[in-house]
Chains A and B, each alone.
Chain A
Amino acid sequence: MTRAAPTVKQRLERIDLLGRWGLILPAALMIFSFMALPMLVMALISILEPGNFGGVKWGAYSGDAYQKFILERDLSDHLVVNTDYLSIFSRSFSLSAVTTVLTLLLGFPSALYIALQPPKRRQILMFLVSIPFWTNLLVRTYSWILLLRNGGLIQSGLEVIGFRGSLNLLYTDFAVQVGLVYSFLPFMVLPIYTSLEKLDWRLVEAAFDLGANRWSALRRVILPLAAPGIASGCILVFIPALGSYFIPELLGGSRALMIGNLIQNQFGASRNWPFGAALSFALLAFVLVLMLLYALRFQRNLEAQS
């Protein structure tokens, strides 16, 4: 009896198995050494006592860093609730949420407009969207300072048309908000455009044919089909915005802090590494919970679709 030669499928599976591990290995190594390992170090630091001049006291374990987030010791050594840090968290959250909503409101129509252009014009427009990436975000944020500060371009412009007095735009939540929306807008436009570009416009014709006007076709056909793009856009904007550091640093000054600044502060001026590490973990946990909720919801949608 001769042994049956391996079928094409079996051969492919064998190659596949080898190939799969071979392909994953570099990425797995990278993730382990540059993400998992540093995070373990961070976790360790967050449960140590701070050193007197920065750094940590190795071997001296303490849960203080996590406690400090909501509780502090008053003069008589009682633990009382301190909402200072929570309020910075909530400010960060609301700034990021508003950024997400505003970039969506600005980005969706732009993406739709671009997707409706003839192919050649589409390429040019998408090229224009990517132009901001040519210069460093830091430089672009500095230029917002020139625009927003007292005596800056915006105020001078208003003075030309008769406005007197100072606007005090810079170093406010408003300035941070403007900076965030400005820098994250392309991250909303790109994924939405990608999903709209793939959209079968004959479906929109079908909607018109069935009596849907433009608005109705947008709401009942285009939006649902662009939903994956909108969701990725929101994630790509919200999560980095939550952790943004130098936009609030430059445009918000000391008054409009975000989580990123708070964390930086612990490793810098405040010399409290464990607290900085604990704050990072709090942020991480928060983002993970949000992503989990999103994934659960999205999965339910997917299941409903298939």
Chain B
Amino acid sequence: MNSSIVISNVSVIFGGGANAVKALDQVSLEIAQNEFFTLLGPSGCGKTTLLRCIAGFEIPSTGSIRLDGVALEGLPPFKRPVNTVFQSYALFPHLTVAQNIAFGLQERRVAKAEIERTVGRMLELVKLSGYGARKPAQLSGGQQQRVALARALANSPKVLLLDESLSALDLKLRQDMRLELKRLQRDTGITFVFVTHDQDEALTMSDRLAVMRSGQVAQIGTPSQIYDHPRSKYVADFIGDTNFLSGIVRDNRLETQSGFVPIPADLPQGSKQTVAVRPERLRLVSDGGDLRSRITQIVYMGNETMYHLEGDMRVRVPNNAGATPQYALGAEVGLVVPLSAVQPLEDAS
């Protein structure tokens, strides 16, 4: 892998003594040149802290960060070829939108005409042409967010750090900006490190993503690796909707309360095991099936129907115009569990 950023064993500890907070705990990651890499995780898991380490605002207590093979240690933020779109936007209130976007270029002593051209191009990119003379206070939250994006992009950094940078936009605009960001990534060769809460965003935009959990990396992989093969209950639960089935391994099958489920061959006999199965990978049948259960709730969702079953199970069935049979509330049904849909989890609880 042609690595752009190599993060090794980075820990960050806030405060001291009894109320010390380990915001990052031995985080190691490699992010490739021109990759769209996403950090995903619940609030307070250390996403912003990791970005701040890369940008140079936080000095890791241990570990190192390298950019294109150069250790960033001791390099102040203004000397790093990295720009940030801050979670709080951090637009300069005393400058106009255009002056905000020009700020970084002026610091680099770029020629005036060139600055003007770039600012115009950036405003167009974030669909704010004509807003150049406004002050940030005169913009809506979403517009401010786009100015923050334009201000960072104007410097054509090697690495762009985006901290929940699409969160304030409405659905339509967010989808446009997602496409725009992906196009930028292709066209510019910039490495994107993107922080989000939104799993859809993470799955659709990322080349790879890291799911974080209280300062640690729970799993790294491509969106399909993470979605189809979550290694832990935490990851499976955090991304998408999941059924968990627990039981004892016997004869290459998992013996659960409501039946037998096929599992991969390499699991030790007699051990306790939990597997994850996505609701859309299960199939409902009237007779037979691997598991038997009873329908407790039916939720119509337009393009599909969600069946809730006894034993905390959910099945999603596509609604293709009556082609699939409908089941009634309270009916006893069978569940077919394909082996390929079964993902054994490492944490057996």
Partner-B contacts on A (CB < 8 A): 200, 202-203, 205-213, 216, 220-221, 224-225, 305-306
- Interface 1/0s, chain B 232-252, versus A by CB < 8 A? 000000000000000000000
Name the residue of chain A whose CB is nearest to the CB of B108: A211
- Interface 1/0s, chain B 271-297, versus A by CB < 8 A? 000000000000000000000000000
Q: Which of B31-39, B84-92, B169-177 contacts A (4 or more CB under 8 A)?
A: B84-92
Contact call B103/A207, Cβ cutoff below 8 A: yes
Q: Which of B75-83, B220-228, B317-325 contacts A (4 or more CB under 8 A)?
A: B75-83
What are the residues of chain A within 8 A of B83 when measuring CB–CB? 209-210
Check B57 for interface membership: any CB of A closer than 8 A.
yes
Bound Cα distance A209, B84 (Å): 7
Contact call B94/A209, Cβ cutoff below 8 A: no
What are the residues of chain A within 8 A of B103 when measuring CB–CB? 207, 210, 212, 220
Bound Cα distance A257, B82 (Å): 59
Name the residue of chain B whose CB is nearest to the CB of A203: B90
Known: A210-B83, A211-B107. A202 touches B78 (CB 8 A): no
- Output the residue of B55, B91, B103, B152 with the most chain A CB within 10 A: B103
Known: A202-B86, A216-B107. A211 touches B78 (CB 8 A): yes
Contact call B107/A212, Cβ cutoff below 8 A: yes
Bound Cα distance A3, B255 (Å): 75
Bound Cα distance A306, B152 (Å): 24
Contact call A210/B107, Cβ cutoff below 8 A: yes
Known: A205-B77, A225-B94. A211 touches B155 (CB 8 A): yes
- How far is the CB of B233 from the nearest CB of chain A, in Å? 36
Contact call A206/B108, Cβ cutoff below 8 A: no
What are the residues of chain B within 8 A of A207 when measuring CB–CB? 92, 103
Bound Cα distance A208, B56 (Å): 9
Q: A206-B92, A225-B93 are in contact. List 16 more A-B contacts (CB 8 A).
A: A202-B86, A202-B88, A203-B90, A203-B92, A205-B57, A205-B77, A206-B84, A206-B90, A209-B77, A209-B152, A210-B152, A211-B108, A212-B107, A224-B94, A225-B94, A306-B137
Known: A220-B103, A306-B135. A208 touches B77 (CB 8 A): yes
Could you jot down 18 A-B contacts, CB within 8 Å?
A200-B90, A202-B88, A202-B90, A203-B90, A206-B84, A207-B103, A208-B56, A208-B77, A209-B78, A209-B86, A210-B103, A210-B104, A211-B78, A211-B104, A212-B78, A221-B92, A225-B94, A306-B137
- How far is the CB of A303 from the nearest CB of chain B, in Å? 12
- Interface 1/0s, chain B 127-144, versus A by CB < 8 A? 000000001011000000
What are the residues of chain A within 8 A of B137 when measuring CB–CB? 306
- How far is the CB of B114 from the nearest CB of chain A, in Å? 15
Bound Cα distance A207, B93 (Å): 12
Which chain B residues (91-125) contact chain A, with CB distance < 8 Å? 91-94, 103-104, 107-108
- Interface 1/0s, chain B 24-64, versus A by CB < 8 A? 00000000000000000000000000000001110000000
- Output the residue of A205, A206, A224, A305 with the most chain B CB within 10 A: A206
Contact call B94/A210, Cβ cutoff below 8 A: no
What are the residues of chain A within 8 A of B108 when measuring CB–CB? 211
Bound Cα distance A211, B82 (Å): 9
- How far is the CB of B72 from the nearest CB of chain A, in Å? 14
What are the residues of chain B within 8 A of A220 when measuring CB–CB? 103
What are the residues of chain B within 8 A of A224 when measuring CB–CB? 94
Bound Cα distance A210, B156 (Å): 11
- How far is the CB of A13 from the nearest CB of chain B, in Å? 27
Name the residue of chain B whose CB is nearest to the CB of A221: B92
What are the residues of chain A within 8 A of B308 when measuring CB–CB? none
Bound Cα distance A224, B137 (Å): 16
Q: Given B78, B92, B94, B135, which contacts A208 in the complex, CB threshold below 8 Å?
A: B78
- How far is the CB of B81 from the nearest CB of chain A, in Å? 9
What are the residues of chain A within 8 A of B78 when measuring CB–CB? 208-213
Check B146 for interface membership: any CB of A closer than 8 A.
no
Bound Cα distance A258, B24 (Å): 63
What are the residues of chain B within 8 A of A225 when measuring CB–CB? 93-94
The 10 closest A-B pairs by CB, nearest first: A210-B104, A206-B90, A211-B107, A208-B77, A202-B90, A224-B94, A208-B78, A209-B84, A210-B103, A211-B78
What are the residues of chain B within 8 A of A213 when measuring CB–CB? 76, 78
- How far is the CB of A117 from the nearest CB of chain B, in Å? 17
Check B151 for interface membership: any CB of A closer than 8 A.
yes
What are the residues of chain B within 8 A of A305 when measuring CB–CB? 94, 135
Name the residue of chain B whose CB is nearest to the CB of A206: B90
What are the residues of chain B within 8 A of A216 when measuring CB–CB? 107
Bound Cα distance A211, B108 (Å): 7
- Output the residue of B77, B82, B137 with the most chain A CB within 10 A: B77
What are the residues of chain A within 8 A of B151 when measuring CB–CB? 210
- How far is the CB of A160 from the nearest CB of chain B, in Å? 44
Bound Cα distance A203, B83 (Å): 14
